Each structure stands twice: as C-alpha cells, then as structure tokens.
A and B are shown apart, each in its own frame.
Chain A
C-alpha cells in the first residue's frame, strides 16, 4: 500500500464523542486526502492538504476537521461523531494533483 498506514483500522464509538483518525505516509508526497466511502455514493472527498498546515475542504466536509503539522501525518477529526458518519474512511496521497493517488488500507468506523 505504497507506504501509507491508517490507524486505527477499526473503531466503534458512541454518538457525540470526538474521534481522530490518523494517516501516516513514508513517501514524502505533498498532497494528502481524506475520503469516505459509502454504498451507492462511491468515494467522496472530505478534506485535502497541499502542504504542511495547508488544507482545504472537499465535497463533504461538514462535521470534520483536519490537521497536518508534518509532511507525513494527516489527521481527520470528527468533532462530535454522528451515526451518519459511520463509514469506511480512506486516506490517499499523491505527488501532484494531476497524478495517481495511492490509497491506504482504510478505517472502518461505526458510530452507535
């Protein structure tokens, strides 16, 4: 998986609790992305980063925040988890915006 790890791989949490997912890369790629994947919707972009401390919103950013303090780490935080945020979350990296994206193994999140 191209030097990308995600943690945790599985998480069960309760509505209203904060949750942080971590993406770590060893490829030194500039761009990092967080997607969620749900049946019937495919992959939808939540947030992305184009450098340390440089982030922007994607298609479905409400309820999520991100931080990137180091090139290798991109954190996704659900401030107050809701059942609608039950999903599989994928991190991806790329060298530029017009290049291949490499995906991590995913985090399966269940919000009860």
Chain B
C-alpha cells in the first residue's frame, strides 16, 4: 500500500543552523510533491512545489530536493530562526483520476534561540 513517512515527529535545532526534514514514500509515482507549514491552531500554508523532472527548488531560505530514484524529498531551512518553529508537512500527488494530494503526518520543528 502507499505510504509516506516524515522523519521523527520532532526536530530541535539551534538558531542559525540548517534544518533538514525528510519525506520518504513508497508505492507512489508522484508527478509532484509539495511542502506545507502548519502553525498550532491554523490550517496548513503552502511553501514549495517541486515536480518529478526537477531536482531542486529554492525560495529564499528554503530549499527542496526531490529524488524519484530514492523516493525521497529533503526540505532545508538555512539560517533557521525561532519564527521557523512549526510543523512541516509533505504532500504527494496521490495519482488517480483527480490526483488528490496525500499528506504525511508532519515533522514538528523547534528552533531554539
């Protein structure tokens, strides 16, 4: 069956360091992958989308990679700040006629000052 795994439920890092979050998937062949940020009590907010023919995408301090051979995406936040503390969700194109998104359960990132 299809499965998405995001690394460890919680990740703590020191301010200024690079945070790296992992999204692994099995039994999918997604055409694209998205990353969302979710703050407590709020809905997820879109950050980046990367397509299967793209290896890397950047936006300001954010970088996403997509390795369809390893079936893995890495999400990097460089020069992290306490304001980056949130839960980060990866979402895959789940296929099917409507190509709905399937979400991972998220990684909670805490950036310590």
Contacts and interface: CB of A to CB of B under 8 A. Distances in A.
Contact of A100 (B31, B34, B100, B105): B34
Interface stretch (A14-22, A35-43, A62-70): A35-43
Contacts of A90: 43-44
Interface string B44-74: 1110010000000000000000000000000
A74 interface: no
Contacts of A40: 105
Contacts of B93: 98
Interface residues of A, number: 25
B98 A101 contact: no
Of the candidates B32, B101, B106, the one having the most CB atoms from chain A within 10 angstroms of its own CB is B101
A103 B99 contact: no
A49 to B, nearest CB: 10
A101 B101 contact: yes
Interface size class of B (residues with CB under 8 A): 20 to 34
A98 B91 CA distance: 12
B111 interface: no
Contacts of B105: 40-42
B46 A100 contact: yes
Nearest to B41: A106
B21 interface: no
Contact of B98 (A41, A44, A50, A105): A50
Interface string B78-113: 000000000001010100001111111110000000
B101 to A, nearest CB: 6
Given A44-B103, A90-B44, A98-B31, 10 more contacts: A33-B100, A35-B103, A42-B89, A48-B98, A100-B34, A101-B34, A101-B46, A105-B42, A106-B41, A106-B42
16 contacts: A33-B100, A42-B105, A43-B44, A43-B103, A44-B103, A45-B101, A50-B98, A90-B43, A97-B98, A97-B100, A102-B46, A103-B43, A103-B45, A105-B42, A106-B41, A106-B43
Interface of A: 1, 33, 35, 40-45, 48, 50, 56, 58-59, 90, 92, 97-98, 100-106
